[in-house]
Structure 1
Amino acid sequence: MTRPLDIVFLGLSLSSSWGNGHATTYRALIKGLREDAHRILFLERDVPWYADHRDLASPDFCELGYYSDLSALIELYGERLRTADAVIAGSYVPDGVALIDRLAALNLKRLCFYDIDTPVTLAKLDRGDEEYLALRQIPLFDAYFSFSGGEVLARLEQNYRAQSAVALYCSVDQERYGNTGEAPAWDLGYLGTYSPDRQPTLERLLLEPARRLPAMRFVVAGPQYPAEIDWPANVERIKHLAPADHASFYSRQRFTLNVTRSDMIAAGWSPSVRLFEAAACGTPIISDFWRGLDELLPDGEASLIARAPEDVVALLTDLPDSDRLAVAAAARKLVMSGHTGAARAGELARALSQLPAKPALDRISA
């Protein structure tokens, strides 16, 4: 274990999981850091959307602070930012470009970026969209921690001039995710906020199988789905599912569906937090295909890849229960050994400890 570090995160949200997967990713990671005695402050912009939907307003595993604008951020937390061992800005933070410029001007000990949306970020930058990160800022970071691994890391260093690109996949909170032992309520389910680029896959791999298997039960949980979607009668809708209810939700499915955004499919090596959560609950995963999935959860051994409605129908109707449970057990073993919050926290702390800190005189003169 490395010595305890003082780390400040500036992320999209820790307090609210409503309509975003960032909160659960940060929660698992920071809980793991807390277990190793690291000191953590998480700062998030106080915006109405998350303020109205906070499901973790007072975490017991870190300090949580809010700021109204960038001037208030520096006024309230400037000294803490300057003395921290590492400051890590995240993707999709409001006014992210201006925020990063303000942080860089402080000449911090270590300034890093945690991109929980790497394929989306790079696709945005390639078309000139600098919503929360500017292309010119990537070389400023001592380390660029990426939601995506594999060949994406080489692209970050070679094409985008990252000093050091390091894979930091999302992870599962091992304290909250496990099988609850409840009886199955659905044959196939899906958990995810509506996304236009995921919807065709959801249509192909869940809604169409539901139409072909009217005697079976299906469920889709998540907000922001348009009213015009034609939901089959045997598909139950849950508009929002709090993280506290995720384990029960997964445990009551015979299979769960993993659907990946198009940018992440194109990049590869971009596992979603839902993938790890479902595996930790011992629920067999049916997933669309992307490069790198087979390295994390081998097809037919720890996951079941489907490309067409027929594949899903065959799995739901023909796969023996013994095979279904064996796939679930293999996935759970892999995830609990290498993809928990504790495991990911160790990776982050080791990477930060290997980064040289800027000398104090340099920081003072800045």
Structure 2
Amino acid sequence: MTRIAFYGSSLLSSYWNGAATYYRGIIQALAAHGHHITFYEPDVYDRQANRDIDPPDWCDVVVYEGTPEALKRVAAEAAKADVVVKASGVGFEDDVLLREVMANAAPGALKIFWDVDAPATLAAMQANPDDVLRRMLPDQIDLVLTYGGGDPVIDAYRGLGARECVPIYNALDASTHHPVPPDPRFDCDLAFLGNRLPDREARVDQFFFAPARELPSLSFLLGGSGWDAGAVPENVRCLGHVRTADHNAFNVTPRVVLNIARESMAAIGFSPATRVFEAAGAGACLMTDYWEGIELFLKPGEEVLVARDGQDVTDCLRALPPGRDEAIGERARARILSEHTYAHRARQLDALLGERVRGAEAPA
């Protein structure tokens, strides 16, 4: 049994924490391979007051106070693990946590940095030669795992000194995201779910608000935190934070569900958001903005609708014939179930970890 210490933003709460469902899917599926995982998360940003799940039976969860003293206490726990993982975007003293966790790791432990926002992390390292992660990559980090990014991210990490970089893409947890009956609360022609973020706003205006203005007779639904309900078109209804428990109904009920990549993710490509798999797993008719590599996950025109700009979104909504949305959703669900579940990702990751843990133990 491999003991894994995982330091991330939150497993228990998706509140201002887009990585939550990714962590849940990966860790639960990995635990099924016999690994014992302890997830350490700080009590910050009101996440613990907005939990989506109780502590699960497939992972131990340690919630620590957002203080330097508590951080050092949990970082010391890394010494007990065979594999030590520090994720990006934990939300409290990330640089300090990275240094402490890796310094406390046992001499033979596999030390991993898991990047759930590679464009932002790479930009920070490229702009600052003294960036903490950049200085640690060559000799203090054994392996970099990423949320996505394909060859562009792999090449960028290697160029900055990483020994090895492997994408572990988002996927579907079919036990959590699946078809459910429609819910009148989410009835609309086009729905988008995403928190308001600086490098997402302009693209949301282009791909979502502009079509809403062009199609005043259609209804649009906006879910996510941070949006100003008074500043959106009149036919856009703002829901605020949508609980994970409501995601299936949010995906199933609208005629079309829209995915909009953040600008940095779209520029790199090969970075499907968790929402892509959640929506497809529920059987939604998914429309996404264009990014390179879409066809690796879903076939454009048959399993997903692709829009290169807001006009494409508008034209598609006008032309989409009755019944085609359901057919697209059914094909997408079948493709994702056959190739892109967290069980698929866990098999990849289990083999990756097993090979490297065995390699580290061999000299001893």
- Shared fold by TM > 0.5? yes
Q: Give the corresponding residue for 2:262.
A: 261
CA distance in 2, matches of 1:305, 1:322: 18
Change (3 A) 1:129 1:247: farther
CA contact 2:75–2:97 (8 Å) conserved in 1 = no
- The residue identity in structure 1 corresponding to 2:284 is T
Match of 1:42 among 36, 39, 43: 39
2:11 corresponds in structure 1 to: 14
- Whole-angstrom CA distance in 1 between matches of 2:125 and 2:5: 26
In structure 1, C-alpha distance between the alignment counterparts of 2:324 and 2:252, rounded to whole Å: 17
Counterpart for residue 209 of structure 2: 207
Greater Cα offset, 274-283 or 335-344: 335-344
Decide whether the 8 Å contact of 2:52 with 2:245 is kept in 1.
no
Partners of 1:77 and 1:128 in 2: CA distance: 25
Task: Say whether the 8 Å CA contact 1:156–1:165 is kept in structure 2.
Answer: no
Q: Tell me the distance in 2 between the aligned counterparts of 1:217 and 1:192.
A: 18
- Give 1:204 deviation, angstroms: 2.0
Question: Shift of the alpha carbon at 1:104?
Answer: 2.3
Q: Which runs of 5+ in 1 are unaligned?
A: none
Secondary structure at the aligned position of 1:253 is classed as: coil
In structure 2, what is the Cα distance between the partners aligned to 1:250 and 1:39?
A: 33
In 2, Cα distance between equivalents of 1:289 and 1:48: 32
Name the residue aligned to 1:85.
82
Aligned positions, number: 356
For the aligned residue pairs, the C-alpha RMSD in angstroms reads 2.4
Structure 1 pair 261–20 and aligned structure 2 pair: CA distance change class (3 A): same
Q: Which of 72, 97, 100 matches 2:98?
A: 100
Match of 2:341 in 1: 340
Distance in 1, matches of 2:249 and 2:342, equals: 19
TM, length-normalised to structure 2? 0.90
Distance 1:308 1:28 in 2: 31
- Residues in 2 aligned to 1:55 and 1:262: alpha-carbon distance in whole angstroms: 28
Alignment of 1:135-154 (within 5 A): 135-139=134-138, 140-154=140-154
Give yes or no for contact 1:145–1:168 (8 Å, CA) kept in 2: yes
Counterpart in the other structure of 1:287 = 288
Q: Is the CA contact 1:70–1:99 (under 8 Å) kept in the aligned structure 2?
A: no
How far did 1:221 drift?
A: 0.2
Deviation at 1:207, TM superposition (A): 1.6
SS in 1 for 2:192: strand
Residues 164 and 22 (structure 1 numbering): CA distance in 2 closer, same or farther, change over 3 Å? same
Sort the Cα spacing of 1:361 and 1:264 in 2 relative to 1 into closer, same or farther, 3 A: same
> Which residue does the alignment assign to 2:57?
60
User: What does the per-residue CA deviation read over 1:122-161, in whole Å, with 9 as the maximum and x for residues that have no partner?
Assistant: 1122222988x52112222221001124213432443111
Q: Note closer, same or farther for the CA distance 1:76–1:153 as it changes in structure 2 (3 Å cut).
A: closer
Structure with bigger RCO (C-alpha 8 Å, 6+ apart): 1
Conserved 8 A contact 1:11-1:90: yes
| Deviation for aligned residue 1:190 | 0.3
Deviates more, 1:120-129 or 1:184-193: 120-129
- 1:242 maps onto 2:243 in alignment: yes
Runs (4 or more) in structure 1 with deviation over 6 Å come to: none
User: 1:72 is paired with a residue of what secondary structure?
Assistant: helix
Q: Equivalent pairs: percent with the same residue?
A: 33
Distance in 1 separating the partners of 2:217 and 2:6: 48
Over 3 Å counting, the alpha-carbon distance change for 1:149 and 1:212 in structure 2 is closer
User: Which letter maps to 1:103?
Assistant: V
Cα-to-partner distance string for 1:35-54 (whole Å, 9 max, x where unaligned): 33321110012225323322
Are the structure 2 counterparts of residues 352 and 148 from structure 1 closer, same or farther at C-alpha, using a change threshold of 3 Å?
same
Give the Cα–Cα distance (whole angstroms) in 1 for the partners of residues 75 and 96 of structure 2.
Answer: 16
Partner of 1:270: 271
Q: Secondary structure at the match of 1:321?
A: coil
Q: Does the 8 A contact of 1:8 with 1:86 survive in 2?
A: yes
Is residue 29 of structure 2 the alignment partner of residue 32 of structure 1? Answer: yes
Instruction: Read off the aligned partner of 1:61 and give its amino acid letter.
Output: W
> For residues 83 and 177 of structure 1, what CA distance do their matches in structure 2 show?
34
Q: Counterpart of 1:181?
A: 181
Letter in 1 for 2:98: I
Shift of 1:112: 0.4
Q: Deviations over 1:79-135 (max 9, x none)?
A: x5223221111001222222222222234311101111111211122222988x521
